[in-house]
Amino acid sequence: MAEEKDLVKSENGLGAIKIADEVVSIIAGLAATEIDGIAGMSGGVVGGIAEMLGRKNFSKGVKVEVGEREAAIDLFIIVKYGARIPDVALAAQENIKKAIETMTGLSVVEVNVHVQGVSFPEEEKQEEETRVH
């Protein structure tokens, strides 16, 4: 029953609907990948190492607090050099809010965007070369 506390529950006439916090994290992470200007996700305050988008762990860099009907999201990102940070952050906030509300029915009360770093084109090429070899 310990995992029950990590699930969003909804009762209807047919039974209960349960959505795990991890599902909300993945939805937020996938919504972030759609935003131009985000180079990667960060593990958060600890380490601060970029996790490049496109990898399997879409909940990396996403922290969620989910209640019965509401959710709050913290997103830790690496921004591409040259991108206008306020525009990227606003686009991420809007896309994540829309995706979570549409898919889960939860009301998103806040999406906090934490910019952890800036990715330069040379760094991206070096990381790609390292992964290939």
| Closest to 104 in 3D by CA, of 72, 76, 71 | 71
Residue 8: the pLDDT is 60
In the prediction, which pLDDT does 60 show? 86
Extended strands (E) in the chain = 7-12, 15-20, 38-42, 50-52, 62-66, 70-80, 107-119
* 43 phi/psi in degrees, rounded to 5: -70, 0
State the chain's mean pLDDT as an integer: 82
pLDDT at residue 94 in the model? 98
pLDDT-derived band of residue 53, with 50, 70 and 90 as boundaries? very low
Q: With a cut of 80, say whether residue 25 has pLDDT above it.
A: yes
pLDDT at 125: 60
Q: What's the pLDDT band for 34 if we cut at 50, 70, 90?
A: very high
Which CATH number covers residue 18? 3.30.70.1350
Q: 27: closest CA among 76, 64, 79, 80?
A: 64
- pTM for the model stands at 0.76
What range does the domain containing 110 cover?
A: 2-132
- Is the confidence at residue 89, as pLDDT, over 60? yes
Higher pLDDT, 94 or 48: 94
Distance (Å, whole) CA 74 – CA 44: 9
Q: How many residues does the chain have?
A: 133
Highest-scoring range by mean pLDDT, 3-12, 38-47, 121-130 = 38-47
DSSP class per residue in 17-34? EEEEHHHHHHHHHHHHHT
The C-alpha atoms of residue 131 and residue 104 are separated, in whole angstroms, by: 35
Q: Which amino acid is at 36?
A: D
Where does the pLDDT of residue 45 fall: very low under 50, low under 70, confident under 90, or very high at 90 and above?
very low
The number of domains in the chain is: 1
Task: Give percent above pLDDT 90 in the chain.
Answer: 55
